[in-house]
Chains A and B, each alone.
Chain A
């Protein structure tokens, strides 16, 4: 039940408790308790809204930054990752396998803002060896949601 609940609210966190209870076939109290438990255990970390900013008049620039760092004895990459994650403009920080170590996803208002973050804040960090910045030009799909045209139901109205 936990897995099914998570799968539903991952797609639609606004579904109300009564409806969750109905489609899961459990009581509303059970839903409340389970959600509370999931929050307490740190499994549910927030309820966000997926926004296609391109459709607004608000300017946003996103970039993926590949960061190579020197790991520290006893700390690995955690120390440097925890420094980077503190900047509010940083959306995500992932430790990666492969040619670089950290993937930093950054959101800023302008190209200048993003590039100054990289040159003024990220690169000067002692452990950072190099960075490579890739700007996102267009988002086709994000968090499992396609940003293009809404699909219309074009099935025949009545079929046996």
Chain B
């Protein structure tokens, strides 16, 4: 029989997370600090609105770009939180999670051979999506000494005359790094100078613990060269609703809408109805969850300090990214041994790019109780390793 598969797909490496997941799955009683989603359930008033929409028979397609009311609310939100004006008719597209926006955004903008700059460690789908879109991914290895922020020099060094898009994933999964205004201003200058575009994945924007989140699209000259991606999963604990959106220049959004129309039709109507409620009346829910995450973040940072483990202080998302180089093991080895010995699952930094080697992603989307138990075990494990080493 002929080979039924497409070479381009087969050649894409499976997600490193998947491999680890299969090991963890076998251990029923393990504690996991491995999830990339909130532990909170969606606020009740939002769920209620979803249910209510079903009762009213809102069970049909919406327009391709999404419910008008939702697009309008997103524009209000963008104005309120990021101080950017978007035209809801032409500059907003509702997608199936932020992930779809990443995929179709790249497909709408890439010509064969274009280079896409991807700072790593970062979310697992940028590189495969860039390849699927026909781009050549160019990885920028972010460094711990810069708190895993992207510097203007690193960007400058990576740009060639084929560079078309920079993916800007901050607040960052897995490092928890953020980019403050001055960091963004520095790279904006380089971006404008070289006339490239930015895909800014700001899905964790509401989970910022140092000042207010700043969107690169709000900087002078950046609005029209930025596709801003956000969504409901992280801010409103709505991962299972699969709802995100992209805001950007009308010509790009129009082409993205075309792909979305043929591939997806429209985002789920129930989710869209619930999301309207989230944007209208959900600011307080965000604040409550942010406060809880911040308390856990401080708890973890303190735990690692007490263990004497090197860890830069992350100010975003719900991850910490401690360094485990002192133990002379790879991230994979460490995570596997930790799981076997102490039954705690963490994700090796390498799942998010080679530059994650020597680090672990630890999620604090868990109750303080769970984190406490896990950190006691971490302490015990680390103490054991150090004792072995000094023998």
Contact = CB atoms under 8 A, between A and B. Distances in A.
A4 interface: yes
A159 B37 contact: yes
B298 A24 contact: yes
Contacts of B20: 158
Most buried by B among A7, A158, A159: A158
Contact of B347 (A8, A19, A153, A158): A158
A9 B24 CA distance: 35
Interface in A116-158: 153, 155-158
B17 A157 contact: no
Contact of A4 (B15, B291, B366): B291
Size class of the contact patch on chain B:
20 to 34
A2 B100 CA distance: 42
B298 A158 contact: no
Contacts of B15: 160
A25 B299 CA distance: 9
B295 A24 contact: yes
A22 interface: yes
Q: Which 7 A/B pairs are nearest by Cβ-Cβ distance?
A: A23-B295, A158-B34, A158-B21, A157-B32, A22-B302, A157-B24, A159-B36
Given A23-B299, A25-B298, 17 more contacts: A4-B291, A8-B295, A22-B298, A23-B298, A23-B368, A155-B35, A156-B35, A157-B32, A157-B35, A157-B345, A158-B21, A158-B35, A158-B347, A159-B17, A159-B34, A160-B15, A160-B125
Interface of A: 4, 7-8, 19, 22-25, 153, 155-160
28 contacts: A4-B291, A7-B291, A19-B299, A22-B298, A22-B302, A23-B296, A23-B298, A24-B298, A25-B298, A153-B366, A153-B370, A155-B35, A155-B37, A156-B21, A156-B35, A157-B24, A157-B32, A158-B17, A158-B20, A158-B21, A158-B24, A158-B32, A159-B37, A160-B17, A160-B36, A160-B123, A160-B124, A160-B173
